[in-house]
Every structure is written in structure tokens, then in C-alpha cells.
Amino acid sequence: MKPASFDYARPQSLSDALKLLAIHRDNAKIIAGGQSLVPMMNFRISRPELLIDINKIPDLDYHECSSDGHYLKIGALTRHETLRNSALIAQYCPLMHKAYQHVAHVVVRNRGTLCGNLAHADPASEMPAVMLALDATMVIRSNQGERKVQAEDFFKGLYSTDIKSDEILVEVQIPILDASFRFGFAELSPRKGDYASTLVAVMLKLINGKIESAALSYAGISDRPVRAPAAEKALLGQEPSSDLFQKVSAIVVQEIYLKKEDLESHVFQADLIQTLTPRALLNAIASHDQ
Ligand SMILES: Cc1cc2nc3c(=O)[nH]c(=O)nc-3n(C[C@H](O)[C@H](O)[C@H](O)COP(=O)(O)OP(=O)(O)OC[C@H]3O[C@@H](n4cnc5c(N)ncnc54)[C@H](O)[C@@H]3O)c2cc1C
């Protein structure tokens, strides 16, 4: 199918883009890499009257450490492929580096942006779960100014975020964690480069061989990425072991699925959680030994 007709604007500055958004609001859409928006327009799931192309706006394509060295800053036009191949990301955000091995195909990654991916909020996407595990901050701008939203408040539901119709996600800020943190990732997808059936992103802090803090973040099992707080709590103060990781995986299934009415229809996903959670946790511990 072809998209419904639309007007097209290519502002040369962020302030011009924000002015256009302030006027057209729900009738306009930002286009970054177009890798999710264009298919949705072709299927007429999305029918914007105006496309605001941000690709000519300078200074939005960057990824760097903040001046205080506490976090990574990633701009709105930074492509997946740049981040996937970045030595800076591999060093300072190993969880993102691991997860990027599962994201899409090179042609998609060459155009698709991290911020577009997060704004699109596909519930089976890798990076939203990674941002949730790492407590990332979204920097959002409108004509009225700038605000910051934590990842846990950013993802609101199926393809839905906290970004308002007159706002642009201009930057993602990801904490740089010290050497006591370990990261693991595991995913099952129908084919390499497809969205996940289920995935888990893991962050563990190990002090003297014991787990001092933990994040288990899942995608593909709800309308948005979710953490598993009861399972995370069960890891605290424990020494990592296969037995512990099996027990914790069972807790994840309980806390995510006990609330749901029909557990039977979720048996496959429950099995995936039971398989992928220990795998990601062991992956985190193995990265400790490397
Ligand atoms: C064949 C194929 C396979 C894929 N496989 C995967 C996969 O395995 N895993 C995965 O995670 N993704 C996958 N994707 C999606 C890919 O990651 C997209 O690039 C990404 O979801 C959207 O980024 P984009 O820059 O292309 O955004 P666009 O398509 O340009 O925009 C997507 C949405 O976000 C909004 N938007 C974009 N940028 C901003 C901004 N800065 N501020 C506010 N709103 C904004 C747009 O208005 C639109 O609603 C796949 C896509 C394709 C076509």
C-alpha cells in the first residue's frame, strides 16, 4: 500500500521543528530514520497530515560522555549502526552493546535512530528494555522548554510514551556504571534481526562475590518493557549460582503471570522466561570473568 497524502517540512533548526510541532500538534509527525513510521504510514495505521523531517537539523548526531563523566549522552539523530559499532558504547555501556547484536538488519540500522526506536515504543524492542534496566533519562524538548523523564515513567503502553504532541526526544542519558556492575542479555526471536518473542536485559552489582543490586528488564511479554521487582529483591545479598538463577526465574513467572487470568495461554512465554532469565544472568556473571 501507499501512504495517504501528506505535507513535508525539513526544518534546519530544532527551534523551527518545535514551532511547527506547536502549530500542528497531533496532525504532525516527526520523521527520523523512517524505519518504523514509513511502514505504519504505508499500512495507513498512521496518517499524519505533516511530516517534520529532523534529518537536516545540525548537532543531533552525537554520542559522548557527559563533562562530569557520569553518563553517556546520545542525540536524536544517532543511528543504531553507529551505536552498535561504537567503542565508547562497548566500553561504557556494555549492556547496550550486547543488546545491539540482536537489533534488526544493517539496512534498517543504517537509518533507524535510538531515539526514534524509543519514541516508537514497540513492546518487543530491545532498547526500551535496556533503558529500563539502566535507569536511563529521556531529555524531551518543546517550545516551552526542556524536561527529563526516567525510563520507568517514559513507556506508557503499546506504541505509547510520555512524549506529548508538541515535543521531541532530543537526547537519552545513560548512567555510566563502575566496574562492580555486570551485564547480561538473552533473547529469542523467530529469525535473526527480528523483534524478540521475549528478551531479558540484566544488570547486577557484585560486591565481595555477593549481589548488591539487580535489575531484570523484560520485553515481549507486556504492552511495554517491564521490570521484575520481586525477583530482583530475591537476588540481593546472594552469591550467584545456577540454582539461585533458576529459583529467581520462577519468581519472575509468578510475579508477571499470576495476576493474569489465563496462565495457560502464556505457557510458551513463561517457558521462555524460565529459559532466558538464567541464561542472561549467567551471561552477566561470565562477563565478570572475562
Ligand atoms: C525489517 C525491520 C526489522 C526491525 N527489527 C527490529 C528489531 O529487531 N528490534 C528493534 O528494536 N527494532 C527493529 N526495527 C525498528 C527499528 O529499530 C526502527 O529504526 C526504530 O524503531 C525507529 O527508529 P527511526 O529513527 O527509524 O524512527 P521513525 O520511523 O522515523 O519514527 C518512529 C516513531 O518515532 C517518532 N519519532 C522519531 N524520532 C523522534 C524524536 N526524536 N522525538 C519524538 N518522536 C520521534 C516518529 O514520529 C514515529 O512515531 C525493525 C524495523 C524494520 C523495518
In a domain, 73, yes or no: yes
Percent over 90 (pLDDT), the chain: 89
Classify residue 268: in a domain, yes or no: yes
Question: In this structure, is residue 104 part of a structural domain?
Answer: yes
251 lies in the same domain as 280 = yes
Q: Does the beta carbon of 3 sit less than 6 angstroms from any atom of ligand 1?
A: no
CATH number at residue 253: 3.30.390.50
Mean pLDDT of 227-245: 98
**Residue 124 forms part of a structural domain:** yes
| Residue owning the nearest CA to atom 22 of ligand 1 | 117
Whether residue 136 contacts residue 151, with contact meaning beta carbons closer than 8 Å, is answered with: yes
Atom of ligand 1 nearest to the CA of 127: 11
The pLDDT-based confidence of 290 (bands split at 50, 70, 90) is: very low
Say whether both 232 and 277 belong to one domain.
yes
- The answer to whether position 2 is within a domain reads no
Domain's final residue, options 175, 208, 232: 175
Q: How many CB atoms within 10 Å of residue 261?
A: 6
Residues 162 and 187 in one domain: no
Instruction: For residues 99 and 187, state if they share a domain.
Output: no
* Nearest by Cα to 276 from 190, 209, 200, 195: 200
CA separation, residue 127 to residues 1, 134, 174 (Å): 29, 10, 12
53/67 Cα distance (integer angstroms) = 30
| Average pLDDT score, the chain | 95
Higher-confidence residue of 80 and 221: namely: 80
Within this chain, do residues 166 and 187 fall inside the same structural domain, yes or no? no
Indicate the residue among 175, 194, 214 that finishes a domain.
Answer: 175
Q: Are residues 253 and 279 in the same domain?
A: yes
Residue 260 shares a structural domain with residue 232: yes
Which of 8, 10, 37 to probe ligand 1 with, by most ligand atoms within 8 A of CB?
37
Per-residue model confidence (pLDDT) at position 287: 78
Q: Residue 31: which CATH number?
A: 3.30.43.10
Q: What is the pLDDT of residues 119-165, one digit of tens each?
A: 999 999 999 999 999 999 999 999 999 999 999 999 999 999 999 99
Q: What is the mean pLDDT of residues 97-114?
A: 97
pLDDT of residue 6: 97
- Is a pLDDT exceeding 70 seen at residue 241? yes
Q: What local confidence, expressed as pLDDT, does residue 259 receive? A: 63
**Minimum CA distance residue for ligand 1 atom 13:** 104
With a 6 Å cutoff on the Cβ, whether 116 touches ligand 1 is yes
User: If you measure from the C-alpha of residue 37 to the centroid of ligand 1, how many angstroms do you get, rounded to a whole number?
Assistant: 7
The tens digit of pLDDT for each residue in 268-278 reads 889 999 999 99
- 216 domain-assigned: yes
CA distance 171 to 232: 28
Domain housing 230:
181-289
What's the distance, CA 227 to chain centroid?
Answer: 13
Q: Is residue 196 lining ligand 1, measured as CB closer than 6 Å?
A: no
* 38-76 pLDDT, tens digit each: 999 999 999 999 999 999 999 999 999 999 999 999 999
Residues 171 and 68 in one domain: yes
Residue 286 CA, distance from chain mean position? 23
pTM of the model: 0.96
pLDDT beyond 90 at 1: no
pLDDT of residue 266: 80
* Confidence at residue 193, expressed as pLDDT on a 0 to 100 scale: 83
On whether both 257 and 159 belong to a single domain, the answer is: no
- Roughly how many angstroms between the first and final C-alpha of the chain, as a whole number? 49
205 with 162, same domain: the answer is: no
**Helices 267-289 and 242-257, axial angle in degrees (round to 10):** 140
Beta strands in 69-127 (DSSP E): 71-75
- Is 58 a member of any domain? no
- Confidence grade of residue 262 (pLDDT, cut at 50, 70, 90): low
Residue range 234-241: average pLDDT?
Answer: 98
The residue contributing the CA closest to ligand 1 atom 20 is 117
Query: What domain count does the chain have?
Result: 3
- The answer to whether the CB of 133 is under 6 A from ligand 1 is no
For the cut 90, the answer to whether the pLDDT of residue 289 exceeds it is: no
Q: Which atom of ligand 1 is nearest to the CA of 195?
A: 8
- How does pLDDT run across 68-97, given as a tens digit for each residue? 999 999 999 999 999 999 999 999 999 999
CATH number of the domain within which 110 lies: 3.30.465.10
Residues 264 and 199 occupy one common structural domain: yes
The last residue of one of the domains, among 143, 175, 207, is: 175
Q: Is the pLDDT of residue 166 over 80?
A: yes
Is residue 1 in a domain?
Answer: no
Same domain, residue pair 191 and 234 = yes
